[in-house]
């Protein structure tokens, strides 16, 4: 009888701890949302939109690396595919609305992601990474040579248009809140995914793939679905970025961009939901600050140094280290 009482007390304690943790997460999310809502009154909206676009890109990449354990060196291909598809449609066809252009760009990146996944998903580790890099380079050279992409000059003057035919997106404030809504959609979608039974299987694959196979899960199918979803969200980030800056650039397809999103994710903290957001904000802001000063030519070298330090000394990233510190000191 006493043992049953103790077991019940332990269960109640665990439930209370979970409720307390959920309450703290909710409060934190509401505070962050409030900050994002008032941010345009303090900071330049276009700069904030750049951070949100790259944050969504990093969140998409983290779904693959942080929760599935797959390191892709080709995610720039999806960012660029979404951007170029949206840019081409909005620049060429006057009857294509902004939201339809973004949806089309996202769909194109999703289809490309499926193609990448079917080719690469049966490989693991460095072989998987190299295959995705090689495929992304094929996309890069296609964008260089295709007649409708503008080659090395890229696409300029992509119209922002009107959202649902009503909201003028030439207004930076209106554009910011649209980008914020898109970012929140992508972030919450990933949050819901990783907390679902599907997400639990992805985590199991990352931790011990042979065991997941032994339990009867079709591991390759789960990997393909995670890859396609990650590619689609990366394409969504690229599509919105093209509309924000009215430009589709080859820089988005370069292998350097794939490396940059890896840095954002590792720096913020893989396997955490807020980590990629923090990492993207840090990297974008650092690049901006350095480019304004005497160290403008050393941006890549400084980012490379930060990457090495993070991998060696702070493998959990900024958010991960904060979580570990709080857990250690509050327990």
- pLDDT given for residue 169 in this prediction: 85
d(CA 159, CA 196): 38
Which uninterrupted H or E stretch holds 115? helix 98-120
- pLDDT given for residue 31 in this prediction: 84
- pLDDT given for residue 9 in this prediction: 62
Mean pLDDT of the chain: 86
How do the domains of the chain map onto residue ranges?
46-254
Mean pLDDT of 168-180: 90
**Helix, strand or coil, per DSSP, at residue 167:** strand
Map tokens 């890549």 to a residue: 300
Asked if residue 168 has pLDDT above 90, the reply is no
Asked if residue 200 has pLDDT above 70, the reply is yes
Query: Measured between alpha carbons, how far apart are the two ends of the chain, in Å?
Result: 29
Strand partners of residue 167: 163
Strand partners of residue 271: none
- pLDDT given for residue 242 in this prediction: 93
Mean pLDDT of 61-73: 91
d(CA 117, CA 114): 5
Rounded to whole angstroms, what are the CA distances from 202 to 67, 119, 150, 197, 215?
A: 6, 20, 39, 9, 13
Winning range, highest mean pLDDT, from 115-119, 159-163, 249-253, 325-329: 115-119
d(CA 260, CA 236): 18
Provide the pLDDT confidence category of residue 82 given band limits of 50, 70 and 90. very high
pLDDT digits (tens, 9 = 90+) for 299-309: 778 888 887 88
Provide the pLDDT confidence category of residue 203 given band limits of 50, 70 and 90. very high
**Helix, strand or coil, per DSSP, at residue 166:** coil
Map tokens 């789960």 to a residue: 222
Mean pLDDT of 92-105: 90
Q: What are phi and psi of 248, to 5 degrees?
A: -115, 120
- pLDDT given for residue 78 in this prediction: 96
- pLDDT given for residue 18 in this prediction: 65
- pLDDT given for residue 44 in this prediction: 85
Asked if residue 178 has pLDDT above 90, the reply is yes
**Helix, strand or coil, per DSSP, at residue 147:** coil
Asked if residue 324 has pLDDT above 80, the reply is no
pLDDT digits (tens, 9 = 90+) for 179-193: 999 999 999 999 999
Estimate to the nearest angstrom the gap between the alpha carbon of 6 and the chain centroid: 44
Q: How many CA atoms lie within 13 A of 293 on its CB side?
A: 9
Estimate to the nearest angstrom the gap between the alpha carbon of 61 and the chain centroid: 5
Asked if residue 202 has pLDDT above 90, the reply is yes
């Amino acid at each position: 009888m006493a043992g049953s009482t103790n077991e019940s007390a332990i269960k109640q304690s665990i439930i209370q701890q979970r409720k307390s943790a959920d309450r703290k997460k909710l409060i934190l999310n509401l505070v962050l949302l409030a900050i994002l809502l008032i941010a345009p009154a303090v900071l330049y909206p276009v700069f904030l939109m750049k951070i949100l676009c790259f944050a969504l890109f990093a969140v998409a990449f983290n779904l693959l690396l942080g929760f599935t354990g797959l390191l892709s060196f080709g995610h720039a291909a999806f960012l660029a595919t979404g951007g170029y598809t949206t840019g081409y449609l909005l620049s060429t066809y006057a009857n294509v609305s902004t939201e339809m252009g973004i949806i089309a760009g996202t769909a194109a990146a999703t289809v490309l992601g499926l193609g990448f996944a079917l080719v690469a998903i049966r490989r693991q580790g460095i072989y998987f990474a190299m295959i995705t890099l090689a495929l992304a380079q094929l996309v890069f050279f296609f964008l260089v040579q295709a007649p409708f992409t503008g080659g090395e000059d890229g696409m300029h003057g992509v119209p922002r248009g009107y959202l649902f035919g009503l909201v003028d997106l030439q207004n930076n404030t209106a554009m910011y809140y649209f980008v914020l809504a898109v970012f929140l959609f992508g972030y919450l979608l990933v949050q819901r995914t990783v907390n679902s039974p599907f997400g639990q299987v992805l985590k199991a694959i990352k931790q011990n793939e042979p065991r997941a196979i032994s339990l009867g899960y079709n591991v390759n199918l789960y990997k393909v679905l995670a890859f396609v979803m990650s590619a689609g969200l990366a394409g969504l980030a690229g599509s919105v970025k093209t509309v924000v800056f009215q430009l589709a650039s080859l820089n988005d397809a370069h292998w350097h961009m794939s490396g940059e999103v890896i840095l954002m994710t590792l720096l913020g903290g893989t396997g955490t939901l807020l980590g990629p957001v923090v990492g993207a904000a840090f990297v974008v802001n650092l690049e901006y600050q350095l480019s304004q000063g005497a160290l403008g030519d050393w941006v890549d070298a400084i980012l490379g140094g930060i990457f090495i330090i993070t991998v060696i000394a702070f493998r959990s990233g900024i958010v991960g280290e904060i979580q570990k510190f709080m857990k250690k000191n509050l327990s």
